[in-house]
Amino acid sequence: MSAAALSEIVTQIITQAKNFGATLAGITSVASLYDARSYKASGYQPNLPENLKSVLVLALAHPKSDPEMDWWDTETGLSPGTQSLIEVTQKLKPWLQETYNMQTRSPGYIEDVGPNIFAKEAAVRAGLGTIGRNNLLVTPQFGSRVRLATILLDIELPPTGPIDFDPCATCDMRCRRACPQRAFESGSYTRASCKIQIQRSNEDTVTLETAKYGATPRTVIKYCRNCELACPVGNETR
């Protein structure tokens, strides 16, 4: 297949991903992930079968104006935003199979035994943004206020990134100052400090009735988003 034909396929996939509900989408190669800094720092390597060649990265905006998207239901173990991303992938996978005869697979968490990737590293290489000083993906359109999902594909497609984007270079790092556990005090992200805040959130559940969960009251966890919400990048009106 020609380069032009493959590029057109990428354009159509991204368009369809957005039609199904993704806010942003991009493509990168599996091979590009092996030198990603998160893998080097963690000691993990992508544990992917050889037939998987590309990664489709999906992002869903989580604006400040809609905090419920990020409230985790203790019964289902999902937030409304995560559930929405799952629904997008569930629509895209059969569409990719039917339209292009692509075999697809969804990766697990990085500690899982099966195929796994760091989604934010894939997002950087797919051109969605950069990893900021808050240790999160920072997108030009929405700052760090996005959540990610990925689909692995068995075809080599042209990447849509990375992009030349470094908003942190001239930023006053308000994200780091916003951390209640001072996880950046050493000059870089300290996961152990962040986990303290996660545990506190786990213990501080709230039972309420919300529009996104329906009429039945739910017990939810409101995880800390201070560093994410402090990021000045992105236009909230989009």
What would you report as the CA-atom Rg of the chain, rounded to the nearest whole angstrom?
Answer: 18
pLDDT of residue 211: 66
Q: Which of residues 177 and 216 earns the better pLDDT score?
A: 177
**How far is Cα of residue 184 from the mean position of the Cα atoms in its chain?**
21
Q: Taking the domains of the chain in order of start, what are their residue ranges?
A: 3-230
pLDDT over threshold 70, residue 215 = no
Distance from C-alpha of 65 to C-alpha of 87, rounded to nearest angstrom: 22
pLDDT of residue 238: 38
Distance from C-alpha of 31 to C-alpha of 159, rounded to nearest angstrom: 11
Verdict on whether the full-model pTM lies above 0.75: yes
What's the DSSP call for residue 198? H
**Is residue 15 within 8 Å of 92, Cβ to Cβ?**
no
pLDDT over threshold 90, residue 21 = yes
pLDDT of residue 39: 72
The pLDDT confidence band at residue 237, using thresholds 50, 70 and 90, is very low
* Average pLDDT over all residues of the chain: 90
- Model confidence pLDDT, tens digit, residues 124-178: 999 999 999 999 999 999 999 999 999 999 999 999 999 999 999 999 999 999 9
The pLDDT confidence band at residue 227, using thresholds 50, 70 and 90, is very high
- Model confidence pLDDT, tens digit, residues 68-125: 999 999 988 899 999 999 999 999 999 999 999 999 998 865 455 555 788 999 999 9
pLDDT over threshold 90, residue 36 = no
Sequence-ordered list of residues with C-beta below 8 angstroms from that of 226, at least 6 positions apart, any chain: 175, 178, 179, 180
Residue 169 exposed, middle or buried by CB count within 10 Å (0-12, 13-18, 19+): exposed
What's the DSSP call for residue 131? E
Mean pLDDT of the region 190-199: 93
pLDDT over threshold 60, residue 26 = yes
